[in-house]
Amino acid sequence: MEINEKAERMAAAALVGFDGDVIALDEASGGHALYLIGHTLLSHHGLYEALSLDRATAWTERVTLEFWALGDAERAMGIPLSPLCDREKDKNLAKSQLSFLNYLCIPFYSIVADLISPNMPPWERLKENLAHWRREAKATQMVLFDAKFGIQARSPKPSRSVSYSPYNR
C-alpha cells in the first residue's frame, strides 16, 4: 500500500470512525469505501463541514479569519480582493456558510452518501450543520431588519456573532 493510500484510509477512518464501524463498512464495499472516502475528502475543502457542529464552527471561524487575513494582505498590496476575503463586506458568516454548503458540500456529500450509505455519520452531521446555519441566517436577517427599522430586539437572535475575531469568544 502506498503512503498516499494509507493517508487516505486513515483520513476516512478518522472521519467515519467517530460513529461507525469502519472495518465493516470497508469490508462490505470490497475494500473500496475507505479509499473512496479518504481520497475524496483529502482533496475536498468541505471536510470540516461533516464534523460535529462545534468542531465545524471552529474550523469555519479559522477559515474565515484566514480568508480575511488574505484580504488584508491583498488590500495592502492594492490588488482586488478575492471572494469572501473582505472583512468589511463579508461579515454575514451564516449566509456565506449556506452558500458554501449548498453549492459545494451538499452536492458532493449527497453523492458519497448514495454510494456508501444514506445514514453515514458525515452526511447526517452535514445536514445538521446546514439546519444550524439556516437558523443562524434567519436570526441574523431578523436582527439586521430590526436594526434597519429601529425595532426593539426580539428573538431569535444569532447564537454567534456575525463579526468574527479571535477576541470575541
**Residues 26 and 84 both lie in one domain:** no
Residue 158 reports pLDDT greater than 90: no
**125 and 60, same structural domain?**
yes
Query: Is 76 found in the same domain as 156?
Result: yes
Q: How confident is the model at residue 78 (pLDDT cuts 50, 70, 90)?
A: very high
Cα dist. 90→51, 53, 84, 120, 138 in Å?
24, 21, 6, 32, 17
Same domain? 87 vs 168: yes
**18 and 52 share one domain:** no
User: Does residue 123 sit in the same domain as residue 134?
Assistant: yes
- CATH number at 125 reads 1.10.1300.10
Q: What is the DSSP string of 52-104?
A: -HHHHHHHHHHHHHHHHHHHHHHHHHT-PPPTT--TTT---HHHHHHHHIIII
**Residues 113 and 169 grouped into a single domain:** yes
129 and 57, same domain (yes or no): yes
Chain centroid to CA 101: how far? 7
Tally the domains of the chain. 2
**What is the pLDDT confidence band of residue 167, given thresholds at 50, 70 and 90?**
very low
Q: pLDDT digits over 99-146, tens only? A: 888 888 888 888 878 888 888 888 888 899 999 999 998 888 766 666
User: 153 and 130, same structural domain?
Assistant: yes
The answer to whether residues 55 and 105 belong to one domain is yes
* Statement to judge: residues 29 and 52 lie in one domain: no
Q: Which domain holds residue 4?
A: 1-43
Region 155-160 average pLDDT: 51
Instruction: Looking at the structure, tell me whether residues 151 and 90 fall in a common domain.
Output: yes
